[in-house]
Amino acid sequence: MSGLFARNRLIGLALAALVAIVDQAVKAYIIGPLALRDVGRIDLLPFFDLTYTENRGISLGMLQATDMEMRWMLVATTALIALVVLVWMMREKAMGEIAGLALILGGALGNIRDRYDLGYVIDYADFHIGTFRPFLIFNIADAAITIGVVIILARSLFVRDKGETATGDVSHGET
């Protein structure tokens, strides 16, 4: 059974690497061939555009890195969080948790690379319904992190451990 757990962890590491690589490749395409940085905005669909944004903060634009010290503090903080997620992922056995954590890790690595290299995170995905924007402008890394968090939360709320009975009581072998 330990071979299965090792395989699941390797799949998790591969998924995290894939998310980070795809995120960086799309960002390179966005600022390279599409020149979105220069154009500013490309209308694609009635509900989705590409809009270039430099996010110098963290989630929801909080904790803006207005100077070099804050930039490196955000890099260090997010790197520490990514390390915690990696350790957590390597301790998990179930593929569901590993997949969710891998998405979070891969997204974090993509955004950390931006912040390390550029001092900000490149965001470009602009979903809207008319003038209503249910989300801030985001990127693939942000989407992966959000999906990973939803997976972890859903599994923690709705998936029972195998040691539990139908009523939710844990069997301890007592009669």
| pLDDT score for 71 | 82
Residue 151 lies in a domain: yes
Residue 168 lies in a domain: no
pLDDT > 70: percent of the chain: 86
- According to DSSP, the β-strands at 121-127 and 41-45 are unpaired
**Residue 1: is its pLDDT beyond 80?**
no
Backbone angles phi, psi at 89, to 5 degrees: -60, -40
| pLDDT score for 167 | 45
Residue 117 lies in a domain: yes
Residue 137 lies in a domain: yes
Q: Which tops the pLDDT comparison, 159 or 30?
A: 30
Q: What is the pLDDT of residues 37-50, one digit of tens each?
A: 999 999 999 999 99
Residue 47 lies in a domain: yes
**Average pLDDT of 106-110?**
97
Number of domains forming the structure of the chain: 1
Residue 174 lies in a domain: no
Residue 36 lies in a domain: yes
| pLDDT score for 161 | 62
| pLDDT score for 97 | 94
3 state DSSP class of 55: strand
Tokens matching residue 87: 């350790």
**Residue 65: is its pLDDT beyond 70?**
no
Residue 170 lies in a domain: no
Closest CA to 82 of 138, 154, 17: 17
Q: At 158, is the pLDDT very low, low, confident or very high (cuts 50, 70, 90)?
A: confident
| pLDDT score for 113 | 96
**Average pLDDT of 83-98?**
94
Catalytic residues: 123, 142
pTM: 0.83
The parent domain of residue 122 ranges over 2-158
**Residue 107: is its pLDDT beyond 50?**
yes
